[in-house]
């Protein structure tokens, strides 16, 4: 749409800027402040320079948490995006079942995150949980509170359960926006389903899939509540993702300096990767 | 071929429903039955857990608190996002693109990063443990989202609508309220749905900013799990009840849901 140049449009934006700045800038400055100082309590602060940043960037603990985080985010993206797309393609386009499908599929998205964690904890317990018990009955030695592999399995399945619907709903929205005429043209040409997918559906879905990947990337990178309720980061440190590690340092040990430095590094990583996605997305759009 | 396409969503929905069924199943069992045996449905059906939640103020007030701050947050976020989204969709002004991206970056801020500073900030201005504190804190990620969604919907409305209204002698506020808002009502519904959703499901900030007066239901649950031993039935009942407001809201917006998830920008 052509837009008019109008500087007073700023007045429309002021309430939003004021509220978000209050919530974002002040806490961010607090974090920056802590990250360059050392404290021994009693509000005594000493200048620490970039020491905390060096400490965090060089610590094996941070590398390990970051590694686990990347593994987690990578795995769930590889599962959720293709799976969500496949389900959206198989969904009915018209009729009474559409609403039923949409409502039932959206349900996991609206459950408080700690309830998701608690629900999966109960569901996967090896003695009284449906999933854990069934797996043990059919011969697997499954115990997610003891074995790191099982904890990871449960964590991944939980996230797939929780968030695949987001990809489904986005892809579905993209699919229903394709005009019927495209399909009719393909039919006249005698196109196979695979060709229809490759040449009609996929190009139209590019945009929504980018949004889906961006949202899933950001949210999975920030995940805290669900794994903290499900496994608490354990067994050992096996499922200690970045946020969990951060909260352990900040609120558990009250090491404000290192926690603040870690917060900033963490935020910058999310920001940088999201910026790359965002730029690619916008460039794509400009081309079309 | 037809049967296969029908099967995929069905299997997926069954997969989605299984943990929810298990939670529901647990909520109607006695603690003895949960810990003592493995049963696929309640043998000694009991509503004891639900009775406890509805008669004990520390439990049911959790729901009231959550609903208060979530509603307040939704109204506030959408109200301030409306003019901003209009500005982004209609005008060019200095710094508009940077401002838009800056707003979106706040959607990318990990809540774990902000938990402690938020606690200090809201303690300093004497809002700790109030509904307002949580509602304001949640605007951090809900305002950017609401602006994003509304901007998408507004860009879909042709500018001729505005121009015709001005020719007809409408003032800007009158045009905005009488014509523009009804035109994008669906978008407002979707934005409100998302604000409700993200405020309802968030726990880390809500828990950090409250202690007694405004404690959300989700926080009540975590504390019970750690202090009162392992009352799984009660926990399951409380969990089941947190699903209901969400289900209710989805039902109302079901026809817009797909569009909203695409943020109106497909």
Query: What mean pLDDT is predicted for residues B99-124?
Result: 84
Shortest distance, CA B239 to any CA of chain A (angstroms): 6
Tens of pLDDT along A46-91? 777 777 888 888 888 888 999 999 999 999 999 999 999 999 988 8
For residue A173, give the nearest of B93, B239, B258 by CB distance: B258
**Do B193 and A214 meet the contact criterion of CB atoms below 8 Å apart?**
no
Of A232-246, B14-28, B167-181, B225-239, the least confident:
B225-239
User: What range does the domain containing B81 cover?
Assistant: 56-261
Domain count of the fold of chain B: 2
A110–B94 CB contact, under 8 Å: no
Q: Is residue A5 within a helix (H) or strand (E), and if so which, with residue range?
A: strand A4-5
Answer yes or no: is B104 within a domain.
Answer: yes
Q: Does one domain contain both B186 and B102?
A: yes
- Split at pLDDT 50, 70, 90, the class of A180 is confident
Q: Please state, in angstroms and rounded to a whole number, the distance separating the CA atoms of residues B189 and A221.
A: 28
| Domain stops at, among B28, B46, B64 | B46
Answer yes or no: is B266 within a domain.
Answer: no
Alpha helices of B40-176 — where are they, by DSSP H?
48-55, 57-90, 96-107, 111-124, 131-155, 160-167, 172-175
Q: Please state, in angstroms and rounded to a whole number, the distance separating the CA atoms of residues B151 and A10.
A: 15
Q: Does one domain contain both B61 and B174?
A: yes
Answer yes or no: is A127 within a domain.
Answer: yes
Assess whether pLDDT exceeds 70 at residue A43.
Answer: no
Q: Does one domain contain both B12 and B79?
A: no
Q: Does one domain contain both B181 and B238?
A: yes
Determine the angle formed by the axes of helices A10-35 and B111-124, rounding to 10 degrees: 100
Answer yes or no: is A37 within a domain.
Answer: no
Residues 96-135 of B with CB under 8 A from A: 96, 99, 101, 103-118, 120-121
Exposed (0-12), middle (13-18) or buried (19+): which is A118, by Cβ within 10 Å?
buried
The residue behind tokens 């696929």 is B40
CATH number of the domain within which A278 lies: 1.10.3720.10
Answer yes or no: is A48 within a domain.
Answer: no
A30–B121 CB contact, under 8 Å: yes
Q: Does one domain contain both B195 and B245?
A: yes
Q: Which residues pair with A37 in a beta bridge?
A: A47
Neighbours of B53 (CB within 10 A): 21
- Split at pLDDT 50, 70, 90, the class of B14 is very high
Work out the mean pLDDT of chain A and round it to a whole number. 85
Q: State the pLDDT at residue B228.
A: 45
Answer yes or no: is A22 within a domain.
Answer: no
Tens of pLDDT along B183-205? 888 888 888 888 998 899 888 88
B115–A247 CB contact, under 8 Å: yes
A111–B235 CB contact, under 8 Å: no
Answer yes or no: is A20 within a domain.
Answer: no
A161–B16 CB contact, under 8 Å: yes
Q: Which residues pair with A45 in a beta bridge?
A: A39
Q: Does one domain contain both B68 and B35?
A: no
Q: Does one domain contain both B33 and B158?
A: no
Domain count of the fold of chain A: 1
Q: Does one domain contain both B108 and B25?
A: no
Q: Does one domain contain both B34 and B94?
A: no
Q: Does one domain contain both B115 and B40?
A: no
Q: Say which DSSP state A21 is in.
A: H
Shortest distance, CA B150 to any CA of chain A (angstroms): 13
Q: Does one domain contain both B31 and B62?
A: no
Answer yes or no: is A29 within a domain.
Answer: no
User: What range does the domain containing A151 cover?
Assistant: 59-287
CATH number of the domain within which B224 lies: 1.10.3720.10
Which residues of chain B does A174 touch, with a Cβ-Cβ cutoff of 8 Å? 262, 266
User: What number of C-beta contacts closer than 8 Å exist between A and B?
Assistant: 278
Q: Does B259 touch chain A (CB under 8 A)?
A: yes
Q: Does one domain contain both B36 and B126?
A: no
CB contact set of A254 (below 8 Å; sequence gap of 6+): none
Assess whether pLDDT exceeds 80 at residue A202.
Answer: yes
Which residues of chain B does A115 touch, with a Cβ-Cβ cutoff of 8 Å? 218, 221, 239, 242-243
What is the DSSP annotation of A245-263?
A: HHHIIIIIS--HHHHHHHH
ipTM above 0.90, yes or no: no
Answer yes or no: is A185 within a domain.
Answer: yes
Q: State the pLDDT at residue A78.
A: 96
């Amino acid at each position: 749409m052509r837009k008019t140049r109008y500087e007073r449009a700023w007045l429309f934006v002021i309430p939003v800027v004021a509220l978000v700045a209050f919530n974002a800038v002040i806490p961010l400055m607090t974090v920056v402040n802590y990250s360059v100082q050392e404290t021994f309590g009693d509000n005594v602060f000493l200048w620490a320079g970039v020491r905390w940043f060096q400490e965090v960037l060089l610590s094996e603990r941070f590398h390990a948490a970051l590694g686990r985080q990347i593994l987690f985010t990578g795995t769930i993206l590889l599962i959720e995006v293709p799976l969500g797309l496949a389900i959206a393609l198989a969904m009915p386009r018209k009729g009474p079942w559409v609403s039923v499908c949409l409502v039932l599929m959206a349900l996991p998205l609206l459950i408080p995150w700690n309830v998701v964690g608690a629900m999966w904890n109960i569901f996967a317990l090896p003695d009284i949980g449906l999933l854990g018990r069934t797996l043990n009955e059919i011969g697997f030695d499954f115990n997610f509170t003891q074995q790191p592999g099982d904890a990871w399995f449960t964590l991944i399945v939980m996230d797939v359960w929780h968030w695949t619907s987001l990809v489904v709903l986005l892809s579905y929205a993209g699919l229903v926006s394709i005009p019927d005429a495209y399909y009719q043209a393909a039919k006249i040409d005698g196109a196979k389903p695979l060709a229809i997918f490759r040449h009609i559906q996929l190009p139209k879905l590019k945009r929504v899939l980018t949004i889906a990947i961006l949202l899933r990337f950001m949210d999975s990178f920030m995940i805290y509540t669900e794994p903290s309720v499900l496994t608490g980061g354990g067994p050992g440190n096996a499922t200690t993702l970045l946020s969990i590690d951060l909260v352990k340092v900040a609120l558990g040990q009250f090491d404000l300096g290192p926690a603040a430095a870690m917060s900033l590094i963490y935020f910058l990583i999310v920001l940088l990767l999201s910026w790359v996605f965002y730029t690619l997305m916008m460039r794509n759009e400009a081309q079309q | 071929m037809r049967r296969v396409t029908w099967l995929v969503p069905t299997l997926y929905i069954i997969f989605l429903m299984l943990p929810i069924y298990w939670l529901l199943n647990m909520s109607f069992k006695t603690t003895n039955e949960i810990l003592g045996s493995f049963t696929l449905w309640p043998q000694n059906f009991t509503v004891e857990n639900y009775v406890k939640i509805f008669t004990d103020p520390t439990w049911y007030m959790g729901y009231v608190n959550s609903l208060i701050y979530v509603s307040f947050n939704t109204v506030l976020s959408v109200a301030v996002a409306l003019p901003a989204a209009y500005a982004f969709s209609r005008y060019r002004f200095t710094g508009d693109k940077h401002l838009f991206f800056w707003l979106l970056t706040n959607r990318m801020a990990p809540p774990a990063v902000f938990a402690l500073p938020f606690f200090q900030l809201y303690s300093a201005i004497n809002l700790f443990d109030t509904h307002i504190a949580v509602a304001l804190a949640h605007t951090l990620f809900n305002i950017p989202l609401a602006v994003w969604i509304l901007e998408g919907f507004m860009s879909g409305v042709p500018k001729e609508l505005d121009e015709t209204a001005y020719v007809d002698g409408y003032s800007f506020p009158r045009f905005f309220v009488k014509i523009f808002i009804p035109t994008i009502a669906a978008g407002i519904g979707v934005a409100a749905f998302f604000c409700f959703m993200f405020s309802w499901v968030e726990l880390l900030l809500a828990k950090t900013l409250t202690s007694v007066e405004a404690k959300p239901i989700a926080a009540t649950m975590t504390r019970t799990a750690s202090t009162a031993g392992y009352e799984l039935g009660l926990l399951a009942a409380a969990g089941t009840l947190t699903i209901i407001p969400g289900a209710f809201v989805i039902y109302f917006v079901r026809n817009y849901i797909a569009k909203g998830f695409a943020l109106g920008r497909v």
